[in-house]
Structure 1
């Protein structure tokens, strides 16, 4: 029994990021205009990865409704067409698999051709996923996959699209989607939290490096978000790594408790639209913040983590999980 979830940002099956982006399918699925129409060229342009569902989908829809030209990252034709239907004038599906360097570079080349000299005004690194297991029971290859998508995938996209963020008269901005797990590592969240801690460290370094170039970097840290991720987690549990009898004896109660708590959190979470609004603010504010914690409980958890001594905070989390 394991908890498996398609990231708090709604990215679909965890292994969908395997390196499988055939050039033929990519060319067929997404065709970007070689020369952007004048109306499109006049609008600010943004790339949103992981836009097929959840926060990414909500962000793409909101930005398009506010007049942005949105290149919405997807991994299937069906997801792309569904997104395009939300706003045919504002959303352009972009086939991109952040686990594949070739896929990311190809996507960047297509966007560069589409936006021309105007460049990009925003990059929202949202793609990612999580699998939740006790650290002792985590298969090394699965752990590596989480890190590859959630950390190295952001690196790939950032490196590929930064030249476009510098290209236009108005310098672009980077928004990286982290999580409250980037501050607190809850039980069974070892891989996911490790990836988000790493993402935030990389984002902080990047912020300083890009300051002289006038490109701000904002980290968005949602708590529980109301999407279909918990239903996907329940469906994915049967296919996830199974705990053997001994591991089940050690960790079974904790797995069951964590499952229940994550399902219950859906009732108190914020809608994906609320996180999308924070992304919009990060892209448009005169002075964007470095970090934004968003949610019903996440801000309080962030403050407690910062202010409380470790032994008090640890006891608080242990009591919450009844450890």
Structure 2
């Protein structure tokens, strides 16, 4: 890491991981440029010492590039880019509309991509190690009834992050994907959790209906403490605290429920491969 004070640019800083990463970085004396669709939503971060800027990740790339240029000019560098914008679209695939499908990909995936594109020239020009942190989820590892679109976006975020890692390492940029389990943020609150406009009665008594009920029950009862989680994230991204002496990993399986969920997916996948390998590997040219 550079000996200069770290400078963070964080999207979706009005709540959840974006907000508490900003507060944790500020508590360490770092510079933070916090963004949200409206600066009024992050006035508390401004009071805590952050610079604030209005940014909608779904804006056209030229607009994001302008914001990136202005952000970089504040301190002459960006060392940590955090893409925290994202939401869950709840609904069976048959229920969600093409517009709802596009909108969730536009925020969760295309927004992340375009913010990265806008900031990369400045990250590459900054000396020392830099980081890009994207938010996946345990849903990056497994789909499920009623949240296929969310899972699809998070698989995309994780896959893109894995690809960015070797692309950007030659420039001293470490890419990581944070894959949290259930943390007690406002993510599932009314207004943040988006439900498909169409809800078909045919799905009420199926596993989709069970998912709806489970999300209602989980809201505000998640096991993860977002403040503790963000302290670990900032430690990892700055090689400090619990992560002192460690490299920045390609993925951060965050929360007590994330590693077990991923481990089960690995076991199930290995079992499937073992069962079908004699058949599926018999397809080469003679």
Shorter-chain TM band: 0.7 to 0.9
Aligned positions of 1:62-211 closer than 5 A: 62-85=24-47, 87-88=48-49, 91-100=50-59, 101-116=61-76, 119-211=77-169
CA 1:134–1:202: 2 relative to 1, 3 Å: same
More helix as a share of residues: 1
**Partners in 2 of 1:235 and 1:151 — Cα distance?**
17
Alpha carbons 2:95, 2:198 under 8 Å: kept: no
Matched with 1:214 is 172
> Alignment length, in residue pairs?
262
Aligned positions of 1:190-269 closer than 5 A: 190-232=148-190, 237=195, 240-243=196-199, 247-265=200-218, 266-269=220-223
Residue segments in structure 1 that go unaligned for 5+ positions in a row = 1-40, 313-323
Matched with 1:35 is none
Helix, strand or coil at the partner of 2:108: helix
TM-score where L is the length of structure 1: 0.75
TM-aligned CA deviation for residue 55 of structure 1: 1.1
Helix, strand or coil at the partner of 1:71: strand
**Partners in 1 of 2:268 and 2:206 — Cα distance?**
27
Matched with 1:305 is 265
Helix, strand or coil at the partner of 2:53: strand
TM-score where L is the length of structure 2: 0.85
Helix, strand or coil at the partner of 1:231: coil
Residue segments in structure 2 that go unaligned for 5+ positions in a row = 240-245, 273-286
TM-aligned CA deviation for residue 215 of structure 1: 1.0
Alpha carbon RMSD of aligned pairs, Å? 2.2
TM-aligned CA deviation for residue 108 of structure 1: 0.3
